[in-house]
A and B are shown apart, each in its own frame.
Chain A
Amino acid sequence: MAAETSLDPLSGLDNLELAPQPGRDFLRRGVSSKTLGSIWPKLLAIVLALGVWELVYLSGFKSAIIFPGPATVLANLWGQMQHALLWQAIGTTLQRAVVGFGLALIIGSVVGALVSRIKPLRAAVGSLITGLQTMPSIAWFPFAIIFFGLNTSAILFVIVLGAAPSIANGLIAGVDYTPPLLLRAGKTMGLRGLPLYRHLILPASLPTFVAGLKQGWAFAWRSLMAGELLVIIAGTSSIGVLLSTDQQQADMPSAMAIMIVILVLGIAVDALFGTIDRNIRRRRGLEESAAGS
């Protein structure tokens, strides 16, 4: 191209500025060592927790039946994992979690979208949503059990009430904190009304929305566990039912094994949201700030 020669300095500058990429290369090469680096503190934490547990057990301030050591509990967990009952229970519980969280997602998003868009509605409902968020979900159970009876609907109802406010608030905060400069740029471009939301405000609020989902999940999982302990439905096995049965039979090793299952499931789903969050950050070039942690 004839134009090529006259533009040499500019494209040359581009190449100079992009070619070395010291920071980026370093990040990319460091991925495998970074995952390793983030795993060993976690392993250490687990080992530490097990160690403290073992020490308390060995101190013998409670009898081994009331407070078993890690070896007994882990063996019990291994034993339960050989039986279909535990897996059925996990299946039932996760199914409720998915349905409940899904409902909360839909309701929370719709409420959040309406409240962030309609000013009088925000004045009326905005603080109510935060109020709902601070309300311990277990306080809803008497209402839910009387209203729905002892069934899955009661549990789902409380999950939705627990998770939806966080999800709605995440969306509202995301919309509120859309960078004003981007809004000006969008308006200059002629984005108005619905396209403005679709192409600018919603994508801009996505990271905050995902943070809301993460928090919503934590609330949903807690509400679900509380619900399964309180709302025992005859003939179904769930994690809550197993835990409650263990309590009635004063079977501490089994109860503690189930608690480990609950912990692991909660952490696994949280990690899933963490991955989504990191992916969004990487795509937007926000990873550096995350690497600081």
Chain B
Amino acid sequence: MSVTQRGVGPPQASGPPGPAPPPSSDVSRSSASTRGAGTTAVRLDEVCKVYGKGRSSLLALDKVSMAVEPGEFVCLIGASGCGKSTMLSLVAGLDTATSGEVSTGGKRVTLMFQEPALFPWLTSSRNVELALRARGVPKQERRARATELLQTVHLGGFGSKRPHELSGGMRQRVALARALAQDADVLLMDEPFGALDAMTRDLLHEELERICAERELTVLFVTHNVREAARLGDRVIVLSSRPGRVIEEIPVDIERPRRMDSPEIAELGAHMTDRLRQEMASHGR
């Protein structure tokens, strides 16, 4: 079964940092139901989020329950106003739920945005070093670790460049290196490739897939692109809009490596598009 191996190439051929994914069969991630409960990386239980008070209040999330298993790559998809970003903020601890429970089981969580959100006054290496510093990595180790992380995203030679000297895709990879520097177990991504052209995005999908496999990261990936969700996810969760609710969970049983333009991905994407159109139609008139 090729489901166990998510990298594009054989694991030993990839960069030096990070352990190779264990070959044992228990890393099969094609379906969440194959794993036991209790080891969940991210769990939302009947989570509601209300913004504002009284008449002008807005119900953003309505009793959302979901779970992401360790090492699983879950894509969240939905139309505008489905509360995707709200969900990530709750999981990242930047916001608190109005009711219900959000748990990450003490795992370290980090968040990546659509914009790279790099600090423009620091070089890319310093940007990564700052994340290392924030979690208490000793000074003498930081530079070497940052270089290593930039090599992981294939930007080894660009440590001294400032963000504005890099292309959009390269900036987003520095942001990924910075996220990896936080040594999180769970990577939350809020449409990270939404602003990139299709070519760059395709290549970054491969990169992300490789890095997540190497580091056994759990990923919760928000996107509005159905094919991107089918391309990347072990599972896709479809959300309704205003308020956000889970309306469908789709396990993606397509063998990796996958291609955005393959017929299987297109078919699955079309299914999601139909589902989302129904949802949007229910908000018409």
Chains A and B come from one and the same complex:
yes
Interface residues in chain A, defined as those with a beta carbon under 8 Å from any beta carbon in chain B:
2-3, 6-7, 9-11, 13-14, 17-18, 181-182, 184-185, 187-191, 195, 199-200, 203-204, 206, 283-286
The minimal Cβ–Cβ distance linking A41 to chain B, given in whole angstroms, is 28
Within 8 A of A (CB), among B149-203: 154-155, 162-167, 169-170, 178, 182, 199-200, 203
Cα distance A239–B169 when bound, in Å? 57
Residue from A9, A181, A199 within 8 A of B113 (CB atoms): A181
Distance of A281 from chain B, by nearest CB (Å): 10
Show the binding face of B for A, using Cβ within 8 Å.
8-9, 13-15, 92, 94, 110-111, 113, 115, 117-122, 130-131, 133-135, 154-155, 162-167, 169-170, 178, 182, 199-200, 203, 206-207
| Neighbouring A residues of B206 by C-beta, 8 Å | 10
Q: Which of B122, B134, B135, B164 contacts A285 (CB 8 A)?
A: B164
Cβ contact within 8 Å between B167 and A181: no
Contact B13 A2 (CB under 8 A): yes
Q: Are A203 and B199 in contact (CB under 8 A)?
A: no
Shortest C-beta distance, B184 to chain A (Å), equals 9
- Closest B residue to A185 by beta carbon equals B117
From A6, A14, A199, A283, residue with most partner B Cβ within 10 Å:
A14
Q: Which chain A residues border B199 with CB–CB below 8 Å?
A: 13
Instruction: Assess whether B162 is in contact with A13, with CB atoms less than 8 Å apart.
Output: no
Q: Is the CB of A188 within 8 A of B154?
A: no
Flag if A199 contacts B154 (CB, 8 Å).
Answer: no
A6 to B131, CA, bound (A): 29
Flag if B167 contacts A283 (CB, 8 Å).
Answer: no
Q: A203–B154 Cα gap in the complex (Å)?
A: 28
Give 10 pairs: A residue, B residue, CB < 8 Å, sorted on A: A10-B207, A11-B154, A18-B167, A184-B113, A187-B94, A189-B134, A190-B135, A206-B121, A285-B162, A285-B164
| Nearest chain B CB to A285 CB, angstrom units | 2
What is the CA–CA distance of A283 and B122 in the complex, to the nearest angstrom?
A: 9
With A13-B169, A184-B94 already in contact, the answer to whether A6 and B111 are too (CB < 8 A) is no
Assess the A190–B134 pair: CB atoms within 8 A.
yes
B69 CB to closest chain A CB (Å) equals 23
Question: Across chains A and B, which 6 residue pairs bring their CB atoms closest together, nearest first?
Answer: A285-B164, A17-B167, A185-B117, A284-B120, A190-B134, A188-B111
Which residues of A lie under 8 Å from residue B166 when comparing CB positions? 18
* Contact count A vs B, C-beta below 8 Å: 87
Contact, CB under 8 Å: A284 / B134: no
CB distance from B197 to the nearest CB of A (A): 10
A18 and B121 CA atoms in complex are apart in Å by 20
Contact of B115 among A3, A181, A203 (CB under 8 A): A181
**Alpha-carbon separation in the docked complex, A195 to B117 (Å):** 18
- How far, in angstroms, from A188 to B94 measured CA to CA in the complex? 8
**Supplied contacts A13-B200, A14-B169, 16 more A-B pairs, CB within 8 Å:** A2-B13, A3-B9, A7-B154, A11-B154, A17-B167, A18-B167, A18-B170, A185-B117, A185-B118, A185-B119, A189-B110, A189-B134, A190-B182, A200-B119, A283-B162, A285-B162
Given the known interface contacts A13-B200, A189-B134, the answer about A203 and B121 at a Cβ–Cβ threshold of 8 Å is yes
Question: Is A182 a contact of B119 with CB atoms below 8 Å?
Answer: yes
Distance A10 CA – B165 CA, assembled complex (angstroms): 17
CB distance from A287 to the nearest CB of B (A): 9
In angstroms, Cα B178 to Cα A200, docked, is 15
The residue of chain B having its C-beta at the shortest distance from the C-beta of A17 within the complex is B167
Cα distance, A17 to B155, chains bound together (Å): 13
Contacts of B200 in A (CB 8 A): 13
- Which residues of chain B are within 8 angstroms of A182 by Cβ–Cβ distance? 117, 119
Decide if A3 touches B203 in the complex (CB within 8 Å).
Answer: no
Chain A residue, CB-CB nearest to B117: A185
Give the docked Cα–Cα distance between A285 and B120 (Å): 8
Contact residues in B for A190 (Cβ distance below 8 Å): 134-135, 182
Which of chain B's residues have a CB closer than 8 A to the CB of A2? 13
- When C-beta atoms are compared, the residue in chain A nearest to B118 turns out to be A185
A286 partner residues in chain B, CB cutoff 8 A: 120, 164
Residue of B nearest to A11 (CB): B154
Chain B residues within an 8 Å CB radius of A185: 113, 117-119
State the CA gap A190–B164 with chains docked (Å). 24
B118 to chain A, nearest CB (A): 8
| Cα(A17)–Cα(B168), bound, Å | 9
Kindly provide the distance from the CB of B38 to the nearest chain A CB, expressed in whole angstroms: 27
Q: Is the CB of B203 within 8 A of A284?
A: no
CA of A182 to CA of B162 in the docked complex: distance in angstroms?
16
Cα–Cα distance between A187 and B115 once the two chains are bound (Å): 16
Residue of A whose beta carbon sits closest to that of B15: A3
Q: Shortest Cβ distance from B159 into chain A, in angstroms?
A: 14
Residues of the B chain whose Cβ atoms lie less than 8 Å from the Cβ of A285 = 120, 162-165
Contacts of B135 in A (CB 8 A): 189-190
Smallest CB separation, A202 vs chain B (Å)? 10
Residue of A at shortest CB range from B188?
A188
Residue of B115, B117, B170 touching A14 (CB-CB under 8 A): B170
